[in-house]
């Protein structure tokens, strides 16, 4: 294991657009279902539903947080509905599975989605059994990344020492609370995030592909 990664005991990974390519386009399907959900909820057209969806996302961090705060939406009902998408766009990643097998220490998923959906994604990639546990939006008390609340709950729940932990995410701002806790941070700059958000001093390492990165830091298999 290449330094400084040899100091890491707990490896924490975001899921969507991080452990599979952003080009897969799952979020397009989820966006379509969010729009349909809001149309039914507010009895409005698709244009107004899109406006409401994005307004809640920017004001509250996720569309769900805004719908809960302003429309008393049941989070389980919403998440079950919008995540009911096919997984046929996702390809198995045996390279990633092999690297996770070799990665020493505990491995966790930290996602703004829910566990049922995340489990389906991980199954489709072929890596569901490579992780010790998962911290989803329910476990974060519906306070999505980058709200620091979920990060603190994650560490408390699993007894994670941030100084011995690493967090990888494709959204740069989600790394800031992890860095503030003392974690090593990895920005997966794979094109899912537009703009210049990836230039903060809270980013320790920048990579483009998790599979390539893990193979590099692990070295050749013996």
The verdict on 42 and 56 lying in the same domain is yes
Name the β-bridge partners of 188.
207
Domain match, 155 and 78 both: no
Diameter over CA atoms, the chain = 60
pTM: 0.93
Predicted pLDDT of residue 60: 85
C-alpha span between 222 and 220 (Å, rounded)? 6
Domain of 63: which CATH number? 1.10.150.450
Residues 94 and 192 in one domain: yes
In 3D space, the residue among 189, 150, 143, 181 whose CA is nearest the CA of residue 164 turns out to be 181
Distance separating alpha carbons of residues 158 and 178, to the nearest angstrom = 15
DSSP-derived 3-state class of residue 130:
helix
Over the stretch 17-37, which tens digit does the pLDDT of each residue have? Answer: 999 998 999 989 999 999 999
What's the CA gap between 166 and 106, in Å, rounded? 11
Residue 222 confidence (pLDDT): 59
Please give the residue that has the higher pLDDT: either 198 or 16. Answer: 16
Q: What is the pLDDT of residues 74-86, one digit of tens each?
A: 999 999 999 999 9
Range of the domain at 65: 26-82
- Residue 184 pairs in a beta bridge with 166
Which H/E stretch holds residue 70? helix 63-71
Average pLDDT, the chain: 93
- Same-domain pairing of 67 and 100: no
Q: Say if residue 94 is in the same domain as residue 199.
A: yes
The secondary element (H helix, E strand) that includes residue 106 is strand 106-110
The total domain count for the chain is 2
- Residues 162-194 have pLDDT tens digits of 999 999 999 999 999 999 999 999 999 987 775
Task: Report whether pLDDT(198) > 70.
Answer: no
């Amino acid at each position: 294991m290449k330094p400084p990664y040899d100091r890491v005991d707990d490896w924490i990974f975001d899921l969507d657009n991080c452990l599979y390519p952003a080009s897969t386009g799952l979020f397009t399907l989820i966006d379509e279902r969010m729009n349909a959900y809001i149309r039914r909820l507010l009895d409005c057209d698709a244009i107004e539903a899109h406006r409401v969806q994005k307004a809640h996302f920017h004001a509250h961090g996720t569309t769900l947080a805004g719908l809960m705060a302003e429309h008393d939406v049941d989070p389980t009902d919403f998440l079950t509905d919008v995540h009911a998408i096919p997984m046929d766009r996702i390809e198995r990643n045996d390279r990633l599975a092999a690297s996770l097998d070799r990665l020493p220490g505990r491995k966790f998923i930290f996602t703004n989605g829910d566990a049922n959906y995340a489990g389906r994604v991980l199954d489709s990639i072929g890596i569901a059994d490579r992780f010790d546990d998962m911290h989803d939006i329910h476990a974060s008390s519906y306070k999505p990344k980058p709200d620091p609340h979920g990060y603190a709950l994650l560490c408390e729940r699993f007894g994670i020492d941030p100084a011995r932990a690493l967090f990888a995410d494709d959204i740069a701002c989600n790394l800031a609370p992890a860095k503030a806790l003392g974690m090593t941070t990895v920005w997966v700059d794979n094109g899912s995030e537009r703009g210049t958000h990836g230039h903060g001093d809270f980013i320790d390492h920048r990579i483009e592909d998790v599979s390539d990165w893990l193979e590099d830091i692990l070295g050749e298999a013996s």
